[in-house]
Amino acid sequence: MKLHREGYLIILIGFIILGLIELGAYWLYLKTDWLWLFILLSLGVLTMFYLVVQFFRIPKRDYSFEVNDILCPADGKVVVIEEVEETEYFKDRRIQISIFMSPLNVHANYNPISGVVKYVKYHKGLFLVAWHPKSSTDNERTTMVIEHENGSEVLFRQIAGAVARRICYYIQKDQQVKAGEEFGFIKFGSRIDLFLPLNSKINVKIGDIVKAKQTKIGEIL
């Protein structure tokens, strides 16, 4: 396991702030001799630092896929599978699959298919809770589309949640990408939406706990 580069500065700042809190707790202990309070505050500091560090963890994962497989782009829970009108790029009916990422999930994001990037656009927006129905269209988000070698296109969207305030993405239009390669990162609670062709085979159901690069969402037919 390694730490994501997006977390280096936050971890350093967290270490300094929590270190100062720990020093304050020790000073309070020297003044009051309240050992119980010092232990309680120390445990709180250690817990907070652990939570910050684990948020930016990147576990090592082996993965493999067939040419038509749609890989899961993020860790989390499947909260939506439905046929919807996609209004930003396709402007037609698609199968939407939404994956909610809690603050305890790994938050790196990975390409669901291999192909050529046809569209990348960042949108400023609100910070509704990630499971809100309008978060997909009203929240801060980045929309990306990859064209598969068979001509089918998959749209995927990073959506900020109530806690997240920064979406990071690394791919550009016309770039050739491979399924399972990292395309971005969302800091803290958030969501990923996939919009698939209507004839796609779907291998997951609502409520499934999924893992990036290891869960097969479905297939492009």
Listed residue (80, 75, 167) closest to 125, CA to CA? 167
Listed residue (143, 136, 97, 93) closest to 117, CA to CA? 143
Q: Is the dihedral of CA 71, 219, 198, 145 positive or negative?
A: positive
The structure tokens listed for 56 are: 């930016």
Q: Which residues are catalytic?
A: 190
> Under a CB-based contact definition with an 8 Å cutoff, are residues 210 and 99 in contact?
yes
Give DSSP secondary structure letters for 176-202.
EE-TTSEEEEE-SSEEEEEEE-TT-EE
Distances (CA, A) of 177 to 38, 63, 69, 173, 195: 51, 16, 14, 10, 18
In single-letter form, the type of residue at position 187 comes to K
End-to-end distance of the chain based on CA atoms, in angstroms?
35
Query: Sheet of 141-147: strands edge to edge?
Result: 176-177, 115-123, 141-147, 153-160, 190-196, 92-101, 76-86, 209-210
Listed residue (192, 92, 180) closest to 135, CA to CA? 192
